[in-house]
Structure 1
Amino acid sequence: MMKQVNFNGTTLPAIGIGTWHMGDSPQTYTQEKATILYGLQHGATVIDTAEMYGEGNAEKLVGDVLQNFDRSKVFLISKFYPQNATKDKMKQALNRSLKRLKTDYLDLYLLHWRGPVPLAETVAGLVELQKAGKIRYWGVSNFDTADLKELYAQPQGDQVFANEDLYNLANRGIEYDLLPWQRRHQLPLIAYAPIDQGDSRGQKLTKNSTIQQIAQAHQVTPMQILLAWTIQAKDIMAIPQTSNVDHMKQNILVGGIDLSNQEMQQIDSQFSAPVFKQPLQMI
């Protein structure tokens, strides 16, 4: 049974579908399409994409998938470049994304990362798109605590729906101040790269003996334990990317894994939480 998260009154699956590096190759296109469709059919009904991914190729792939699934049952997320964060350029970027996605609205539209456009103008543009019915919600990505504080100081800035950041067992820096700040403001987190490809900065996460022992106890793979760790909190959604149906099946099954307090403590002893502020990690 897939875990659910409550994003400001909207109930969503704890595991969605990331699409970075997808849609670029004709050789893998059919397999990628089948993988995303399998995920949708089995409860992973959040798709995360961006105009940056393959300069629109990922959005085109998702658009093709959506022809075979009820659009109203999908929570569709896309992102726009910082250079498109002015009112006019944002509107144009959104229209291009919608055309590629073969839909007339997004559920969530995110500023991909901060750029030179003042946040006040970006927020005003997003609110206009929301009022026009082109997007249901808006949010941000790759924002640190200071960025969010600045955002909340803008008119209607506190209407932000979610922040999407890098978060996994090898990259826990946001736990020091960003995640607590978001929780105080009831701002949910979307975790990208939630299993860090199983390897980060020389740390072979899946080879760790504690991870392997816990995986064995649950009769799952070490990769599934890494993903399960990421979504143990009730306010975090993970969007792992895979182009493989078997991996998609494994990702979805993670929604039924509950790690005990003891297991979480064992993992903590191997991969400790931050004890000081760290720069926001991005990939």
Structure 2
Amino acid sequence: MNVNRRKKLKRLTIYIFLIVYSIIILYPILWSASNSLKTNREIYASPWSLPTQPRWQNYAEAWSGGKIGNCLKNSVIVTLLSIAIIAIIAPMAAYSLARLEFKGKRLIFYLFLGGMFIAPIAALVPLLILLRDLHLVDTYFALIFPYIAYGLSLSILILRSFFVTLPRSLEDAARVDGLSPFKTYWKIMLPLALPALYTVIILQTIFVWNEFLFALVFIRSLDMFTLPRGLMAFRGTYVTMYGPLNAGIIIAALPPIILYIIFSDRIKKGMAIGLQKG
């Protein structure tokens, strides 16, 4: 009886913790959604109440006046190109570091991992100077190249941890059938690693979509702003239009939220793979 009671108490404690945690996570989103339908006057008067007369034109103002539509296009272009290149390079590098034998393999792997410990703000000035000398400032590639560089470390870690768990017999059978190392990777190993690759794509998409620091420093013109940078346009010197600003926040937040809801199981499985001993 005492054992059952302890189990129920433990389960209840977990449920209470999860409910409180969910409220903490969801509250800012719901607060922004509510204030996205208000005027500045309503927000100043009662920021915590529901809108009396929903002001849907805030979304139209954010989309056209705040150029959120153009920022959305830029974010899609930067995200797609960054993720596509990461999805090509990371599996090949991870496979090489996990399955092939060559001199300096461990050192190269540690160098990749070292990228995870370099804070973006520490590399900001050197990157800006490099991009300026290459005449890439205020272009898509000013964001794409740093995103790829920072995304490869975690991507290779997750994918390598998956590749090392696969049995050697697969490669032995492929070698007997006359497949080259690349064909073995392409036809056998990569299809088996797709769950881990999907996880990498989802995680990196969320990172690139929400990144703000590089976009703030490397992008100068309004037409090149991504969504996080474009939201700053609503902040004026004297007046900030909080209604359209919150509408823009909701528009920017919807794609990664939908993506996470659809692929949440893959994310959890992939993170479990990344924590396995490699």
TM-score by length of 1: 0.23
Name the structure where helix makes up a greater proportion of residues.
2
Structure (1 or 2) with the greater strand fraction: 1
TM score, norm. by length of structure 2:
0.24
For the pair shown, the structure with the greater C-alpha radius of gyration is 2
